[in-house]
Amino acid sequence: MSCPRIEVDLRKLRHNTRTVVERLKGRGIRVTAVTKAVCGHPAIAQAMLDGGAEGLAEARLSNVKRLRQAGMTCPITLIRTPMLSQVDDIMQVCEASYNTEISVIAALAAAALRQNKVHGVILMAEMGDLREGIMPQDIGYIGQQVVDMPGVALKGIGANFACLSGMAPSATKMQALTSLANKVEGQCGPFLETVSGGNSANLTWVFGSRATGRINDLRIGEAILLGVDPITQEQIGGLFRDTFSLVAEVIETDAKTMSPSISTVHHAPAIVRLVPATSETTRIILALGNQDVDVEGLSMPAGSTLIGATSDHLVIGTTEQKLRVGSEMRFQMNYSALMRAMAAPDIQTSLHNDRPGSQANDAHGPKKHLALV
């Protein structure tokens, strides 16, 4: 099997999605699955839909096209403010988009009219993350302009938390979003179908709060892909953390001394950790580097420590004596490592436990259906 590769257990992904979908259903909130970290990989997206996600959300048009080319017909919403230069293409593949700029909305409307379509607009409110968003006091006015513009329909409002600033959504902020939804409806007329409360960082708020107000949608990526809370990186109970693994091949094992001789080092490597030079520790090199993955986001197997990485080499100190040239090593990834690895041209994706609903297959464990994409 080719190396390096990402192994994806689609059964675990379906389970994670289903678990989050079920927990949110009780609160009147649906899950829109976010596929940007997996570059719009169609089979991975399908597993999230099979797990009960109601639709998909993507940040990049190229990824949306990939999903459509694979034949996916579910609703796909663009969650990054559209580029003016892409409005015509967006019209062809996305039912709706999140927006913050009236000039972009006007261009979307013009493109929609050219193609005889109506494009859904969700206005993103700035609630304190200080990334994208319209100031809350301006949303009603902009919403009114959207309502008056042929070619677009005001579908809802949304907010985003914990991306740029790392600020988690508080109950107060979420209450403010509910009030904003009521206010925009009062001001502009149409019922807001979607009040999208945020991303995986909102789950703690949902599970811990008694009232979720008008919020009826969350855009979830990290929690279902990796089974963790994005802010604390702690496992979410009942979810798998190991849906994705990165497998790399050992290309050198040796017993070089652990401290590099300073005089021979011309460029300080990005990271070099000193690993005790004990007789049990072997230094190994894997064919994997910064070009493939955010190496800081890899969790090392027990007994192994990251020594350093360059563009194409990963150097590890390990007490595992069985590793030889040609052996494979398996790592868990955080979000940043996953998204870079999924985009790396040299890394293959191998899918396991495909075929939703094939309970017999799932029950008998490791019988694998493998597809390389």
Asked if 212 interacts with ligand PLP (CB under 6 A), we say no
Rounded CA separation 224/60 (Å): 20
Asked if 194 interacts with ligand PLP (CB under 6 A), we say no
Asked if 213 interacts with ligand PLP (CB under 6 A), we say no
Asked if 149 interacts with ligand PLP (CB under 6 A), we say no
Task: Give the chain's length.
Answer: 373
Asked if 76 interacts with ligand PLP (CB under 6 A), we say no
Tokens of 32: 């829109």
Asked if 230 interacts with ligand PLP (CB under 6 A), we say yes
Asked if 6 interacts with ligand PLP (CB under 6 A), we say no
Rounded CA separation 171/173 (Å): 6
Return the DSSP state at 333.
E
Rounded CA separation 319/321 (Å): 6
Interface mask (CB under 6 A) for ligand PLP, residues 25-64, using x and -?
A: ---------x-x----------------------x-----
Q: Find the part of the chain contacting ligand PLP (CB under 6 A) among 113-121, 173-181, 219-227, 323-331.
A: 219-227
Out of 46, 97, 199, 349, point to the residue binding ligand PLP (CB under 6 A): 199
| Nearest Cα to Cα of residue 226 among 5, 80, 42, 9 | 9
Out of 16, 19, 46, 160, point to the residue binding ligand PLP (CB under 6 A): 160
Q: Find the part of the chain contacting ligand PLP (CB under 6 A) among 19-27, 61-69, 221-229, 258-266.
A: 221-229
CB-CB contact of 227 with 16 (8 Å): yes
Q: What is the DSSP string of 346-367?
A: T-EEEEES-STT-HHHHHT-S-
Q: Find the part of the chain contacting ligand PLP (CB under 6 A) among 1-9, 145-153, 168-176, 215-223.
A: 215-223
How far, CA to CA in Å, does 304 sit from each of 5, 25, 276?
Answer: 20, 41, 12
Dihedral sign, Cα of residue 211, residue 50, residue 68, residue 352: positive
Out of 21, 38, 79, 109, point to the residue binding ligand PLP (CB under 6 A): 79
Closest-by-Cβ residue to ligand PLP is 221
Asked if 133 interacts with ligand PLP (CB under 6 A), we say no
Asked if 99 interacts with ligand PLP (CB under 6 A), we say no
Out of 220, 288, 307, 323, point to the residue binding ligand PLP (CB under 6 A): 220
Dihedral sign, Cα of residue 223, residue 342, residue 219, residue 159: positive
Dihedral sign, Cα of residue 173, residue 174, residue 175, residue 179: positive
Size of the site for ligand PLP (CB under 6 A): 13
Asked if 317 interacts with ligand PLP (CB under 6 A), we say no
Tokens of 339: 């998204």
Look up tokens 């609160």; give the residue: 27
Which residues would be at the binding site for ligand PLP (CB under 6 A)? 34, 36, 59, 79, 160, 199-200, 219-223, 230
